[in-house]
Structure 1
Amino acid sequence: MRAGSPRLLREINDRAAIEILLDNGPMTRSELETAIGLSKPATAQLLARLEEDDVVRREGLRGGARGPRAQLWAVNGALCFVAAVDLTAESVDIAIADISGRVLAEHRAVMPAGPTEAVLAAFDTALTAAVGLAGLPEGTLRHVVVGSPGAVDRATGQLGFAPHLPGWEGFDLPGRLSELLNATVTVENDVNLVALEEMISGKAVDVRDMVLVWPADAVGSAVVVNRVLLRGATGGAGEIDWMRVPDLAKAGSAVGRDGIRFGDLVSSDSIVSLAAAHGVHAETGIAAVRAAVTGGDPGIAFLTDLARRIATGVANLVSVLDPELVLLSGETAETGGELLCELVQRELHELVIPKTPVELGSVTGNAVRAGALHSAYAIAREEIFGLPAAEFMKPPGSRAHR
């Protein structure tokens, strides 16, 4: 055996144990022994070694009706703390977590509508408040992942495709946030993070190529090719809000052959207008879709027209990418449910040759923040433990300030 091999094997086994504990939570020595495939003495030595380095800690006991209670072991979450942020024009939704995956605090705060110094100061205040709620001192975050509308250009760090975020454009966004927070920062497109979460725990766990579409105001999409998010040269891959499409709806005013921005075609105001043309009256697009789902024939006619609009935009993506799956996500899709998905699929199949299935995204709650949190875990665990992140988890780039 070559010199140094025993040490290398110990390092491999240590990383395997850490990864298993991170994936499964607290485990007994016997459970860990079985999971790794080591002998009882080797597992005991491994745990002693990791405990001495403060990588793992004893965490209570597990006992049954009979026999002695067994010691539980867990990764020391206090080794590293991360933050995940869902940023919109109106608010920030923040989660603070330790490296073991335990969420320590959640905090939501209202954001001002620019200028830059005002939004950055409000962002800093909100994150400081969240860190305080977690019982942590300032400056303890190692990494922050921010989910934002638009896209960050990896070369310049500037946010583009986001005119609805006044105050956030025109400067190196990850760089400024890193200086402000004294932590490394990744800024990722919000819909990309939803797609990431679908690949981790949703409909796309076993899917290699897919398109996720968020049909709503500031419509967006995420493109996944061979389990990797496609970001494009300037980060703008999937920004279909700006794509021009014709209006194939049967009711309402026709857009004409020159088309219109896809984002305008499926905006809340456009959906309200289309619904009214079918006799379905509501103040918002979401309310119109909600009323249509149980609104009988007029509701179905309106949803079919809305499905034509959505399918027209999706058809461009399917024609170029030929994905295995199209996922519809966001509040409009969730409100329309399986019925809207079925209608979009039917209309899509009239427009393109591939008979790509269209399904409703399955990740519930704040999927943007959940995806940001998983991304933050992946970055921190690679840095702390040397655990390589899956290809689709790797961030588009970050700025360090240490």
Structure 2
Amino acid sequence: MPASPSTARAINDRLALRLLQQEGPLTAGQLKQLTGLSRPTVADLVDRLTDAGLISVVGEAGEQRRGPNARLYGIAADRAHLAALDVRTEGVFVLVSDLVGRVLAEASVPIGGDTGTGPAVEQAVAAVERTAKEAGADRLHTVGIGAPGLIDPATGDLRDSGGLPEWHRSLSAALQERLPGARVTVENETNLAALAEQREGAARDRDTFVLLWLGHGVGAAVVLDGTLRRGASGGTGEIGFLPVPGTGSLPSAKDCSGGFHSLAGAAAIATLATSCGLPASPRPDGPGTAETVRAAVAASGDGGVVRRAAAVSGDGGGVRGGAAAAGGAGAGGEGVAVSGGEEALGTGAGLSASRFLHALADRLAVGVASVVAVLDPGCVVLGGEIGQAGGAGLAELVETRLRGMSPLRTEVRASTLGGTAVLRGALLTARDRAQDDLFTPRA
């Protein structure tokens, strides 16, 4: 049965809006070419979308062209305002954008660990309101929140997670109360980071990949065939709880100590750096440890890390006894084993830095190999501030070590977005949901 005229118009309008969203401003002629619609049909839909306030003329195509056919149409950016939040244990980052994602204002609000739930929520909500006011937004259409912890797939709420501040769970409801017209949604921070890396970062050419988040904590996000997988309870990617060799204990249902977190969390990596002879970091959190990793990469000679690692191992597999080396350092900062040929690594600071990066790659490869054995994603992105700081050198070391541990060929890449990925993912998600709402024809 052919579509009714009203249904056909709705389909054409939505197609045109999606093209404008993906391609940016287009002329009527370009819309005709991309949609395959007739010139009169395109002219009608342009008039409808303009009258509805969804698109507007944003310029002209070509300096020499004038007239209706040269007009560039784009999504009406001021039709709605959006907010994105990156909620962390120590505070919250906020930004407000227009409908096309252009950032208008942003803020960072630290929240001390001894702050009570009520005051902490008030500080976060007030930050959103101030940032919206600074952006000139009278109201917010959609608010996207990225937070650590599990998201209940049935309710969309942040579940109670051990070790996380109580105000995290109360923030969404408080924002909904103070912003009654807004749509407030919460998503796991690592999932949002993966979406951002897929849309704007290191995984733009991948439909299937795993993001290994390396920040204050450790997590993973799984994207298979272009779809983010959350699991039956929303816990896909809780790799911090993964039992691994060498930690001296097993994780529990409420504590990931003894799991992969004990090897790859920021504090564990900072301890590893100290055990390898690097200066102790004054801030063993995600950003502080990222600086330690970045300095180690620079001290080791950046791209030469992999070549020196191969010279030491003799087989391209990194430090021998990778799991043992990782476990020894994780358990007490000792036992980072380098199998002969230390002169190949350099001397002084270069030796310490290379030894640290080598041992860190061994640790990360333990977790990555487990993920690869189950999912075979073909690509793993080392994300978060620490993954970005390690860059291509650390990614290559992990890939080389992984090649000796798994028969499944896997490319390892460094994040290009780092710690900003959560905020970018929250913004992209908010923008998509707002556009879906605004672009849906009303009966």
TM bracket (short chain): 0.7 to 0.9
- Superposed CA deviations along residues 312-336 of structure 1, whole A, max 9, x for unmatched, are 1222211221211111012212222
What is the Cα deviation at residue 187 of structure 1? 0.8
Partner Cα separation in structure 2 for residue 42 and residue 287 of structure 1: 56
CA separation in 2, counterparts of 1:100 and 1:306? Answer: 40
Q: Deviations over 1:148-167 (max 9, x none)?
A: 11122234624344624343
What is residue 116 of structure 1 aligned with on the other side? 117
Match for residue 368 of structure 1?
A: 422
Question: Amino acid of the residue matched to residue 288 of structure 1?
Answer: T
Per the TM alignment, residue 357 of structure 1 is displaced from its structure 2 partner at its CA by: 1.6
Distance 1:268 1:23 in 2: 37
Shift of 1:127: 0.7
- How far residue 109 of structure 1 moved from its aligned partner, in angstroms, is 2.2
Question: Distance in 1 between the 2:360 and 2:111 partners?
Answer: 32
Shift of 1:107: 2.5
SS at match of 1:83: strand
Q: Kindly indicate whether the alpha-carbon contact (under 8 Å) linking 1:307 and 1:344 is maintained by their aligned counterparts in 2.
A: yes
The partner residue of 2:293 within 289, 302, 310 is 289
Alignment of 1:166-315 (within 5 A): 166-169=166-169, 174-182=172-180, 183-247=182-246, 255-256=247-248, 260-283=258-281, 284=284, 285-293=289-297, 294-295=299-300, 296-315=350-369
Distance 1:234 1:223 in 2: 14
Pair 379,68 (structure 1): closer, same or farther in 2 beyond 3 Å: closer
Deviation at 1:222, TM superposition (A): 0.7
For the structure 1 residues 153 and 286, does the alpha-carbon distance in structure 2 shift closer, same or farther, using more than 3 Å as the test?
A: same
Aligned match of 2:86: 86
Tell me how far apart the structure 1 counterparts of residues 215 and 79 of structure 2 sit (CA, whole Å).
40
Match of 2:46 in 1: 47
Q: Is the 8 A contact 1:159 1:168 kept in 2?
A: no
Shift of 1:196: 0.5
| SS of structure 2 residue aligned to 1:27 | coil
Look up the match of 1:390.
none
Counterparts in 2 of 1:66 and 1:267: CA distance versus 1, 3 Å: closer
Matched-pair contact (CA < 8 Å) for 1:161–1:236: no
TM-score by length of 2: 0.77
TM-score scaled to structure 1, two decimals?
A: 0.84
Structure 1 unpaired stretches of 5+: 248-254, 388-402
Of residues 369-378 and 113-122 in structure 1, the stretch that sits farther from structure 2 once superposed is 113-122
Q: Which has the larger share of helix?
A: 2
Residue 378 of structure 1 corresponds to 432
Q: Which moved more, 1:70-79 or 1:310-319?
A: 70-79
Compared CA separation, residues 351 and 124, structure 1 to 2 (3 A)? same
% same residue: 37
Distance 1:287 1:378, change over 3 A: closer
Matched, 1:16 2:15: yes
Alignment partner of 1:159: what SS? coil
Q: Deviations over 1:220-254 (max 9, x none)?
A: 1111222222222332221222223223xxxxxxx
Query: Secondary structure of the equivalent of 1:141?
Result: coil
Structure 1 Cα separation of the partners of residues 15 and 382 of structure 2: 36
Alignment of 1:101-112 (within 5 A): 101-112=101-112
The letter of the residue matching 1:311 is A
In structure 2, the residue matched to 1:136 is 137
CA contact (8 A) 1:29 1:71 kept: yes
Deviation at 1:375, TM superposition (A): 0.7
Distance between the aligned counterparts of 1:331 and 1:129, measured in 2?
Answer: 27
In the aligned structure 2, how far is the partner of 1:174 from the partner of 1:287?
32
Q: Secondary structure at the match of 2:416?
A: coil
Cα separation, 2, equivalents of 1:216 and 1:66: 51
Aligned length: 375
Residue equivalent to 2:311: none
User: Is the counterpart of residue 100 in structure 1 residue 100 in structure 2?
Assistant: yes
Deviation readout 1:349-381 (Å, 9 max, x if unpaired) = 333332322111233571111111111111112
Q: Is the CA contact (8 Å cut-off) linking 2:383 and 2:418 kept in structure 1?
A: no
Q: Which amino acid aligns with 1:277?
A: S
Match of 1:330 in 2: 384
How do residues 388-399 of structure 1 correspond to structure 2 at under 5 angstroms?
none
Letter in 2 for 1:290: R
The alpha-carbon deviation at position 301 of structure 1 amounts to 1.9
CA contact (8 A) 2:190 2:213 kept: yes
More displaced, 90-99 or 154-163? 154-163
**Quick check: 2:391–2:415 contact (8 Å CA) kept in 1?**
no
Taking the aligned partners of 1:220 and 1:41, their CA distance within structure 2 comes to 52
- Answer with 260-269 or 59-68: which moved more: 59-68
The root-mean-square deviation of aligned C-alpha atoms, in Å, is 2.6
